Chains A and B, each alone.
Chain A
Amino acid sequence: MKGTHPSPTDRDDQAVSVRAVTRHFGSTAALDGVELSIAPGEFVALLGRSGSGKSTLLRLLAGLDSPTTGDVKVPQERMVVFQEPRLLPWKTAIQNVSLGLARDNPTEHARAALAEVGLDHRLHAYPSTLSGGEAQRTALARALVRDPKLLLLDEPFAALDALTRIRMHRLVEALWVRHNPAVLLITHDVDEALLLADRALVLDKGRITAAIEIDIPRPRELGQTGFLGLRKRLLSAIGVHDAPLPDEIPPTRTAPAENVPSIVPVLRRQLA
């Protein structure tokens, strides 16, 4: 549980410090006593079922929402990439990236950022003409051009097709290595967390219930040594136990974790 419970003295060294945070919506507690620290430059993945409070936590860190009780410390320079690219449809890619950029020569910086995500040929394209992957890369460029100390990624690859997602994983890792912001990635995908993160956290019913160090050397590949063991640990931390499924049912690689428990009994019944 390294880094999850920092002593009060080193709080200021952290990129993110969340202490005893709760967030209630009416009588339901979306977050119920969350403790979280992220070191500068650390890549943390946050997993959990739908409704576990992942997005609530991300919105608190982004400053889009405030906690009911507790204390959230985040850097001023923080950026969010949402599941949808959220590009302004009436602005071109480069205008979307440079909009609101408070520095000299915003257009030049935007051009460089788009080149970095491999979109130097789409600078003046309107969002409606971009593919899903291109739009999400533009959103990534818009975040990175602002040199965030904390980058919040809210399931940014969930809506992309599998091949695009693989390329996005590599791109995000390369950008993280180069710019080195602290990253919090919300994901449903256990393999995505294992490929990218230094540490995986599991959120369940508004509490962080597991923290798993991912010490696989980079660059990582699916099926690398140590991968399977961590995968098993992480899945069981989420509450997906290696169900005794019949052999002829191949496990789906990217099945959203929350679907698995409900599907298992159905399969069993059908195959009985």
Chain B
Amino acid sequence: MLQSIDPPAPAATAARRASFGWLRVLSPLVLLALWQIGSSTGLISPRTLAAPSQVLESFGSLLASGELEHHLLISLGRAAKGLAIAVLLGGGLALIAGLSRIGEYVIDAPVQMFRTLPVVALVPLFIIWFGIGELPKIALVTVAATFPIYLALYAGIRGVDAKLIELAGVIGLSRGELIRHVILPGALPMALVGLRYSLGISLVILVIAEQVNATSGIGYLISDARDFMRTDIIVVGLLVYALLGLSVDVLVRWLERRLLSWRPAFVESAA
């Protein structure tokens, strides 16, 4: 028996893709509609979950008063500071451990030990050490974000093709040139994976850090709303976190497209 494998009719595939595309937009809209209907009919009490229309209204008024922007900027500032320190610290440690044998012995073991600690468990200790100001919040973000960057960059450095390193010797590159032209670009894809993880985790840790003794930030906005049973504002805060997560992803994708343009996948899509 011969089975015939025909090319799909182009119109059919296009139509199928179009219908799938509709579904992707449609299902969240249906969920949203069900939520609204449930709230309007009293099925969902506003104490449990505010109606989408109510959430939208609060969102608008928080924006108009400038309150949301104020808290958002403070949260972003904390995340940025913590992350910047984490990139320097994790990146620096990974470079030392990745590029030298002694560095590996001195640094890798303790880092591997500390990275398994749940960061949240450090909150009491950090409050004792750093008080309840900005410092413990930034420190928590730093600690959480350092490890993914360290692990990914270290693995990236160690994973650089040994044949390329050998070639660098053949064409007479100095150690500095080897690091700059071969090892760092070779480790970059992994480093970006680490950065993506760190960005994500720094937002998560921020939520926790800002609900402990904070007077500003999105986390504070949420915990303050909790005290007044304002589920609409809580949902607004959650939405902001979701949007932040989404923007972080867009940012890293953009970075990858720019920095890894040599990779086959990007080369092809650019052509």
A→B interface (CB under 8 Å): 62, 64, 79-80, 82, 84, 86, 88-91, 99-100, 102, 126-129, 142, 146
Contacts and interface: CB of A to CB of B under 8 A. Distances in A.
Contact of B163 (A82, A102, A129, A146): A82
A91 B166 contact: no
4 interchain residue pairs of minimum CB distance: A128-B264, A90-B185, A86-B167, A90-B262
A100 B164 contact: no
Contacts of A127: 262
A100 B173 CA distance: 6
Contacts of B263: 89, 128
Nearest to A102: B172
Given A86-B163, A86-B164, A128-B263, A142 B171 contact: yes
Contacts of B177: 99-100
Contacts, number: 50
Contacts of A84: 163
Contacts of B173: 99-100
A202 B182 CA distance: 36
Contacts of B264: 128-129
Nearest to B185: A90
Given A86-B164, A88-B182, A80 B262 contact: no
Interface centre among B172, B182, B264 (most CB of A within 10 A): B172
B226 interface: no
Interface string B57-73: 00000000000000000
The size bracket of the interface on B is 20 to 34
A99 B181 contact: yes
Interface of B: 163-164, 166-173, 177, 181-182, 185-186, 188, 260, 262-264, 267, 271
A79 B171 CA distance: 7
A128 B163 contact: no
Contacts of B181: 88, 91, 99-100
A72 B163 CA distance: 23
Given A84-B163, A88-B164, A88-B181, A128 B169 contact: no
Nearest to B188: A90
B30 to A, nearest CB: 43
Given A99-B181, A102-B172, A89 B167 contact: no
A79 B262 CA distance: 26
A130 to B, nearest CB: 11
Nearest to B173: A100
Nearest to A146: B171
Nearest to B161: A86
Given A100-B177, A128-B264, A79 B170 contact: yes
B257 to A, nearest CB: 14
A100 B185 contact: no
Given A126-B262, A128-B263, 9 more contacts: A79-B170, A88-B164, A88-B182, A89-B263, A90-B185, A91-B181, A91-B262, A100-B172, A126-B267
Interface centre among A64, A82, A90, A102 (most CB of B within 10 A): A90
Contacts of A128: 262-264, 267
B175 to A, nearest CB: 12
A161 to B, nearest CB: 20
B200 to A, nearest CB: 26
A89 B259 CA distance: 13
A127 B48 CA distance: 58
Contacts of B172: 100, 102
B269 to A, nearest CB: 12
A89 B167 CA distance: 13
12 contacts: A64-B169, A79-B170, A88-B164, A88-B181, A90-B260, A91-B181, A99-B171, A99-B181, A126-B267, A127-B262, A128-B264, A142-B171
A82 B163 CA distance: 10
A99 B178 CA distance: 10
B5 to A, nearest CB: 27
Nearest to A81: B170
Nearest to B178: A100
A121 to B, nearest CB: 15
B187 to A, nearest CB: 11
B262 A62 contact: no
Nearest to A142: B171
Given A86-B164, A88-B164, A126-B267, A64 B262 contact: no
A79 B263 CA distance: 27
Contacts of A91: 181, 262
